[in-house]
Structure 1
Amino acid sequence: MLLLLDLERSIYRLDRKGATERAEAAILALSPRSTELPDVVIDLAGDGAPPSGRRTLTPTFNGVPGEIGVMAALTAERDILIELHDTARPQRPWTARPASPDREVFAATLDAALSCTVALVLKAIDERRVSATDTVAPAAHAPTGFGTAASLAWASAVVAAKAIRLLGILAKGAKEWRIGWRGDSGRASLLDRGEAVFRVLTGGVGSYLADPFPFRHRGRDFIFVEQYLHSKNKGCIAVVPMDEQGVAGPVEIVLEEPHHLSYPMVFEHAGQIWMIPEAGESGKVTLYRAESFPYGWRREADLASGTEDYDVTPLLDDAGIWFFAAERLWRSSSWDILNIYRADSLTGAWSSHSAGPVVIDAALSRPAGDFIRRNGQTLRPVQDCTRGYGCGLTFCRIDALDALDFAQTPVGRINAGAHGCHTYNRRGGIEVVDLFGRVPNSKEVTLSYEPLSAALPGSRSSEDSVAAVVAEAG
């Protein structure tokens, strides 16, 4: 196992500060614990009787202690399931389903899984969070063992698979993002119709478009997007103006920073137009105000700093604002951890939800668009990253949201055929999505909405999306 990790670090030039590094000498030199009975024992071996303690936490990966369970899941093409067995609640293990940013790089996947494990352990230890929503996952079958020969054979197969994939990309063309849009003028949405045809808009040569957010201002529609510039290796925020006939105008950049920007969450509040773009790599969540809409934006305030928050999506209520965000912790991906923050006002101080992180699940965490008020329910679009970033979009109904609890139920999903999809929004007279795949010649694409028959009232999960301040869903 260590040989495989060292080999991958050399081939892929991985950072040496990951969770898979050998323990530092200072940690190994720690003195033995005192003779007093510890409050909590974290049993990382799980292969025998752990040291006695008032409470014992034992993590397993697909039913197996240690990293061998992660490798077994990867080789069998299964999702990774973390179960944290807790003697304080023996019938209800804490669970997490981490994303696999690159399932063919074991060190990176193990780093992400172990980072989510740390988050889960900290959540379990924090007694304020015992009321958080949890699920009991089915037990996984124990895998066969992996020795050095098996590890190297697996690595060789991965290298061959990557080479074949590269040849396929060269032959067929790389996959890219583009957006789909349709003018609905108050007609039924995709969720109501079940199927709709969207026009396709690409970024042209040298860029791609993603993360569309429509906005109507003084009777005119605009679509804000991420425009990723290959020449600069980063995203900027751009706008696509729509004319009275619903024809898309030229794409024009309206906001650029030294770091990557995407997910232009545009909304109206207190008579002003605001934007919270995704800027996770900056370590800040920054609020911008429109000085000359739609082309002039001014940095108004840093809402949070010192954290990697992605796709921040605000939800107003009578007493303040909830901010939903995908959070990257240590070596985790930014796809599988959902945290919620509370503020008394738009620029007020953030406080983390007492049950945070409220979800650790690649299928139900990262925001995928504005909230939606529909049929008396609040829906949350969610990225389904179980098979990779941008591979699917699920709508979740928010069943509970207060200072102590959060619960959501998946109620439907978008079927984009061979395309990936990770953003949905509808506002004013425009309904938009984004699409991931090889760019075809077709200028239209048909999408469908599939209700989930298993979605039952009171189940604890997530759904749909609602406009942060001005909800204009049909």
Structure 2
Amino acid sequence: MIIEFRCDREQPRLWMCRESLRVNDQDIPVQIAWITTSAPRPAGLDMLFELERIVLRKGKAGGADRVKPIPERPRAGSPDVVVDFTAAERDPSCSAKLYLRPRFNGHAGEDAALAAILAGDLPVIEIVNELDGAVMDRGHPSAEIAAGLSGGLDTVMARTLSMLPPILSGAPRLVPQLTVPALSSAAPNPAPFVLRGLATSIAKEIYRLCCYAPHWHIGWRYAGDTDIWRTGDLSGPAWNVLADPGNHFYADPVPVKWQGRTFVFFEDLDHRTNKGIISAIEFDGNGPIGPVMPVLEEPWHLSYPFMIEHNGELWMIPESTAHRDVPIYKCIRFPDKWERHSTLLSGLELADVTITQHNGLHYMFGAWRDGTGGYSDTLAIYYAEQLLGPWQPHAANPILMDRATTRPAGNFVTVNGKLWRPVQDCTNGYGAALGLAEVLELSPTTYRQAVRHLLQPGPLWTGRKLHTLNRCGQLEVIDGSRVQPKTTAFLTSLRSSGRSSQWDWHSALAKPIARRLH
């Protein structure tokens, strides 16, 4: 197979210099055809991108960086597949069997992607086969790592590239039905957008000087018959907040009852090291009792401690994307002694792994990432006959790219014979809201879901965000984030030294900045 990228000679970017695509576990070389187009360029764009590189990325290279000189590679011959990233007319003499054109909010070319970002959001990406007009795949990327205009373009193009191998593999695609926003006919001036982005970056740095960011905390209650799965909202008994020491945050709560005792396991991150471990605290029917205890630590970051009972044993699968694997730990002594048993999957980033059993098989869901782009927009599924594997990839992996419905947010539940799963809705930022999705179809070759309810922070849950939901018996747990000033001791020392007015200024500044950033 010969793959050819058609790219605009006037807009050569680092992301275009991809030498191969991995399709069906083979690296397929990519050749580039540089096309001269008449597309107008926004004034000063390269200068603005360079400013973002220096200020936002501290000089680090990014996919949107301009490359000089234009790289030339020997052509292997007439392409079998063309991926045309320009807005130019298709060459009618091209004999390629597949002619793919990425579209951004319905339009082709880099300028269309930039116009969508300048309008305030990353675009919906469609890969269209121009030979018959069929939409081969569609997705909406998340922007949690997209810094500035250049970072937004880098994220969009990284996700566009990640959509190509599944299409070229010939695997069945489950094209999601996403609303494609209309593209404004006016080309916004990028300078104000970039300058606002730089100002926001400075505000974030000031906020981080004053506060730990983000600072997650856990909410809990005994819900009775008014749990979220029955009501579809956050109503019912008031939520309590699990106390934390301030310089640690608690997130991803998972309650489990084992050997007659109930514990909530969670990510425990030390702000001073920015590294998470798994900790736990016991609940007695009225609330937490005893101290928080660390139960699992590795040299790398751990979070999202998914728990499952299997063959009379208790198992934990913590998120381990920093180690690029999916490990499974066996409980040796409950709750505080765990032994790594095996590795279920290796060599990949799969976040918030959550497993359910359905029609005789185990299904593993996770937010997949191929080293670039966002962390919360792409769903992958694996299946196995036994919990310990071997695990096989779903025929349509990655299943879908949609920041609003992809990333797991807690355990599956069955309500009135229907299978449901909570999902993170990252439309307005990572962990901003939580959806309740009904699983309509699940097999090794198919998957369909529909989000029926959306839960957002508000009067009933004053945490600024919401991205985990779990339950054990009557105990229901969620999480959120709040403004957390750095150390009570620091505040006390400032007040005692007579500089309280100075701190009050910092505190007053931090709160409105936090409201804007969250």
Matches of 1:116 and 1:173 in 2, distance apart? 30
Q: How far 1:165 moved relative to its partner?
A: 5.1
Helix, strand or coil: the match of 1:129? coil
Structure 1 residue 391 corresponds to structure 2 residue 432: yes
Q: Deviations 1:184-235 (Å, cap 9, x if unpaired)?
A: 3x53312324412211113223101000000012332110011111122111
- 1:438 maps to what in 2? 483
Counterpart of 1:85 (choices 122, 128, 131) is 128
Helix, strand or coil: the match of 1:249? strand
Range 291-300 or range 50-59, more displaced:
50-59
The structure with more radius of gyration: 2
Within 5 Å, give how 1:7-406 maps onto structure 2: 7-13=51-57, 18-22=62-66, 28-32=71-75, 34-35=77-78, 38-50=79-91, 51-87=94-130, 90-92=133-135, 94-130=137-173, 132-135=174-177, 137-138=179-180, 140-145=182-187, 150-164=189-203, 166-167=205-206, 176-184=215-223, 187-193=225-231, 194=233, 195-196=235-236, 197-406=238-447
Contact 1:64–1:143 (CA under 8 A) maintained in structure 2: no
Contact 1:42–1:56 (CA under 8 A) maintained in structure 2: yes
Query: Aligned pair in 2 of structure 1 residues 373, 228: CA closer, same or farther (>3 Å)?
Result: same
Range 57-66 or range 283-292, more displaced:
57-66
Matches of 1:357 and 1:23 in 2, distance apart? 30
Query: Aligned pair in 2 of structure 1 residues 248, 89: CA closer, same or farther (>3 Å)?
Result: farther
Matches of 2:402 and 2:287 in 1, distance apart? 38
- 1:413 maps to what in 2? 454
Structure 2 counterpart of 1:407, one-letter code: R
Matches of 1:165 and 1:430 in 2, distance apart? 36
Q: Deviations 1:119-178 (Å, cap 9, x if unpaired)?
A: 222222222224x243264363245446xxx44443222222333455567678855210
Query: Aligned pair in 2 of structure 1 residues 22, 304: CA closer, same or farther (>3 Å)?
Result: farther
Query: Gaps spanning 5+ residues in structure 2: where?
Result: 1-44, 486-518
Query: Aligned pair in 2 of structure 1 residues 137, 41: CA closer, same or farther (>3 Å)?
Result: farther
Query: Aligned pair in 2 of structure 1 residues 231, 165: CA closer, same or farther (>3 Å)?
Result: closer
Contact 2:378–2:400 (CA under 8 A) maintained in structure 1: yes
- 1:424 maps to what in 2? 469
TM-score, normalising length from structure 2?
A: 0.77
Q: How far 1:404 moved relative to its partner?
A: 1.5
Q: How far 1:81 moved relative to its partner?
A: 1.0
Helix, strand or coil: the match of 1:388? coil
Identity within the alignment, %: 32
Q: Deviations 1:371-427 (Å, cap 9, x if unpaired)?
A: 011111111110011111110100101111112111100011223216210000012
Query: Aligned pair in 2 of structure 1 residues 330, 169: CA closer, same or farther (>3 Å)?
Result: closer
Query: Aligned pair in 2 of structure 1 residues 439, 373: CA closer, same or farther (>3 Å)?
Result: farther
Contact 2:252–2:468 (CA under 8 A) maintained in structure 1: yes
Contact 1:383–1:422 (CA under 8 A) maintained in structure 2: yes
Structure 2 counterpart of 1:236, one-letter code: I
Contact 1:340–1:357 (CA under 8 A) maintained in structure 2: yes
Helix, strand or coil: the match of 1:111? helix
Structure 1 counterpart of 2:195, one-letter code: S
Higher relative contact order (CA 8 A, sep 6+): 1
| Cα RMSD for the two superposed structures | 2.5
Q: How far 1:2 moved relative to its partner?
A: 3.2
Matches of 1:21 and 1:345 in 2, distance apart? 46
Contact 1:19–1:331 (CA under 8 A) maintained in structure 2: no
Contact 2:116–2:183 (CA under 8 A) maintained in structure 1: no
Contact 2:122–2:156 (CA under 8 A) maintained in structure 1: no
Q: Deviations 1:16-39 (Å, cap 9, x if unpaired)?
A: 5643345698x933223525xx43
Query: Aligned pair in 2 of structure 1 residues 42, 24: CA closer, same or farther (>3 Å)?
Result: farther
Query: Gaps spanning 5+ residues in structure 1: where?
Result: 441-474
Helix, strand or coil: the match of 2:239? strand
Query: Aligned pair in 2 of structure 1 residues 155, 337: CA closer, same or farther (>3 Å)?
Result: same
Query: Aligned pair in 2 of structure 1 residues 273, 172: CA closer, same or farther (>3 Å)?
Result: closer
Matches of 1:373 and 1:325 in 2, distance apart? 19
